[in-house]
């Protein structure tokens, strides 16, 4: 039946499908709880919800109720976009699916600054992702360990009396409480140009002292989605980075993270993370991605402007996975 979720099981004589679980109806209202199993609707991986976040979504594709007449004279570039509340989830990705999605999405989506004073290192937690509410296709399973991830049994335990039957261990609650300033996403920015939708999620990562000055670090996660059937390829990026200290930096380069991804109907999305540092506590970034069509013509896709804000209250650096 079509409501059963299957996954290939590797066998020498070929791939055999095995039942993974049963699809449930996606929630139109409300939010998914800790322990909800799901299939990612864009990247196709199996995952489990750790906890929900409330984010502000600034969607430039949604027409503002403000009429053209009242828009200010400086032009469309200054239009104010109202943020609306939207649910995102911190999730674990099944390690068995990571190899299959690594060409489309970095599976080390969450990175931190190391919390040693003598270290500039960034470190990552593999198989942790941020997922929008509409990306979730919920399913249920009778398997007591349905997701393979090193943190699954440290964070969750099986309880057949609960729905879903996986509940947060104290370690998950403690980890969320301790690290939520570094995990929490607060703003999501979205804009579509010529059927290419760009979504940006910035995260503040903390401040470092270097040569008697402060350096502030942010990570930003970007998803590119082709909403059309025409194949396109990302060729160049062009960033403008404005710092509150008054500097404006321009960054140009080929591709992103060393790649020039192709977005097709079969594989419409690509997601990656990168980092930026400023010598001021805030700033903002915007820019364009240049895409190429099959006929060799190019077009530019806008990256929606997003602010880089340092968290106002001083926070202890992230503690990673050590309790």
Check residues 53 and 268 and name the one with the higher pLDDT: 268
Tokens of 298: 């190019």
Which band of pLDDT confidence, cut at 50, 70 and 90, is reported for residue 18?
Answer: low
CA angle at residue 292 from 291 to 296, to 5 degrees?
A: 160
Q: Hey, how many other C-beta atoms are within 10 angstroms of the C-beta on 137?
A: 16
| Displacement of CA 160 from its chain's centroid (Å) | 31
Q: Domain 22-62+83-309 is classified in which CATH homologous superfamily?
A: ApaG domain (2.60.40.1470)
Distances (CA, A) of 291 to 83, 122, 141, 212: 28, 30, 41, 41
Average pLDDT for residues 128-150, to the nearest whole number? 92
Q: Tell whether the model's pLDDT for residue 225 goes beyond 80.
A: yes
pLDDT for 183? 63
Percent of the chain predicted with pLDDT > 90: 57
Q: Residue 35 above 80 pLDDT? A: yes
In DSSP notation, 100-141 reads: HHTTTB-SB-EEEE---TT---EEEETTEEEEEGGGEEEEE-
* Greater pLDDT, 102 or 179: 102
* Residue that wins the pLDDT comparison between 317 and 22: 22
Model-level pTM? Answer: 0.84
Give the contacts of 109 (CB within 8 A, at least 6 positions apart). 128, 129, 130, 221, 271, 273
Q: How far apart are CA 317 and CA 182, in angstroms?
A: 8
Could you give the CA distance from residue 291 to residue 143 in angstroms, rounded to a whole number?
A: 44
- Computed over every residue of the chain, the mean pLDDT equals 84
Domain borders along the chain are 22-62+83-309
Q: Is it the case that residue 12 has pLDDT exceeding 70?
A: no
Determine the 3-state secondary structure of 245 from DSSP.
coil
Residue 7: closest CA among 133, 146, 102, 163 = 146
Under the banding of pLDDT at 50, 70 and 90, the label for residue 74 is very low
């Amino acid at each position: 039946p079509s409501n059963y979720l299957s996954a290939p099981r590797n066998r020498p004589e070929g791939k055999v499908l095995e039942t993974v679980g049963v699809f449930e109806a996606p929630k139109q209202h409300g939010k998914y709880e800790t322990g909800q199993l799901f299939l990612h609707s864009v990247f196709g991986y199996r995952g489990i919800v750790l906890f929900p976040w409330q984010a502000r979504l600034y969607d430039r594709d949604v027409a503002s109720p403000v009429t053209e007449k009242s828009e200010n004279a400086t032009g469309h570039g200054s239009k104010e976009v109202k943020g609306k509340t939207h649910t995102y989830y911190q999730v674990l990705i099944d390690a068995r699916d990571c190899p299959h999605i690594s060409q489309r999405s970095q599976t080390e989506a969450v990175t931190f600054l190391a919390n040693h004073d003598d270290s500039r290192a960034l470190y990552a937690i593999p198989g942790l992702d941020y997922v929008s509410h509409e990306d979730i296709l919920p399913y249920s399973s009778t398997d007591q360990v349905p997701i393979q991830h090193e943190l699954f049994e440290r964070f969750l335990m099986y309880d057949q009396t609960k729905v879903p039957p996986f509940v947060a261990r104290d370690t998950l609650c403690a980890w969320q409480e301790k690290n939520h300033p570094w995990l929490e996403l607060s703003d999501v920015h979205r804009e579509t140009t010529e059927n290419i939708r760009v979504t940006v999620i910035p995260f503040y990562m903390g401040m470092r002292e270097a040569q008697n000055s402060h350096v502030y670090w942010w990570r930003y996660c970007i998803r590119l989605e082709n909403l059309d059937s025409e194949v396109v390829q990302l060729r160049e990026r062009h960033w403008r980075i404005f710092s509150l200290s008054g500097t404006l930096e321009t960054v140009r380069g080929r591709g992103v993270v060393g790649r020039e991804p192709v977005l097709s109907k079969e594989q419409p999305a690509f997601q990656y993370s990168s980092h930026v540092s400023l010598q001021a506590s805030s700033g903002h970034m915007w820019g364009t991605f240049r895409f190429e069509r099959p006929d060799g013509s190019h077009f530019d896709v806008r990256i929606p402007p997003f602010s880089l804000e340092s968290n106002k209250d001083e926070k202890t650096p992230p503690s990673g996975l050590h309790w």
